[in-house]
Amino acid sequence: GAGVSQSPSNKVTEKGKDVELRCDPISGHTALYWYRQSLGQGLEFLIYFQGNSAPDKSGLPSDRFSAERTGGSVSTLTIQRTQQEDSAVYLCASSPGRGVGTDTQYFGPGTRLTVL
């Protein structure tokens, strides 16, 4: 079926505003991940969902960042009171969730966030 989709593809916002980024994983994939890639950097892990619960939130950089997942499917990453350093490409990935580590993650195209 379809791959991982993300919306919007681009988002420009003003400093201090809140933004919501959406991820639709591959149908049937139980695991969902959020990463971000800042300019010139590798991908940085943010949060991992197994079903609707988030056993690993260790990568969220501050309490301005939160994420939820409903129905074991769609996930929303929310950034409150955005700052310029939040500018990055936010990538979502999903995997079948068969097991840790060896579960291949499939990525969406990303949302490019620019905070002015």
Partner 1 sequence: DQQVKQNSPSLSVQEGRISILNCDYTNSMFDYFLWYKKYPAEGPTFLISISSIKDKNEDGRFTVFLNKSAKHLSLHIVPSQPGDSAVYFCAASGTASKLTFGTGTRLQVTL
Q: Which residues bind partner 1 (CB under 8 A)?
A: 4, 31, 33, 35, 40-45, 48, 50, 56, 58-59, 91, 93, 95, 100-110
Nearest to 36 by CA among 97, 112, 94: 112
Nearer to partner 1, 58 or 84 (CB): 58
Cβ-based nearer residue to partner 1, 18 or 68: 68
Whole-number Cα distances in Å, 23 to 43, 56, 82, 91, 94: 17, 18, 19, 9, 9
**Closest of 47, 66, 68, 44 to residue 56, by C-alpha:** 47
Shortest distance, CB of residue 16 to partner 1, whole angstroms? 28
CB of residue 43 to partner 1, shortest distance in Å: 4
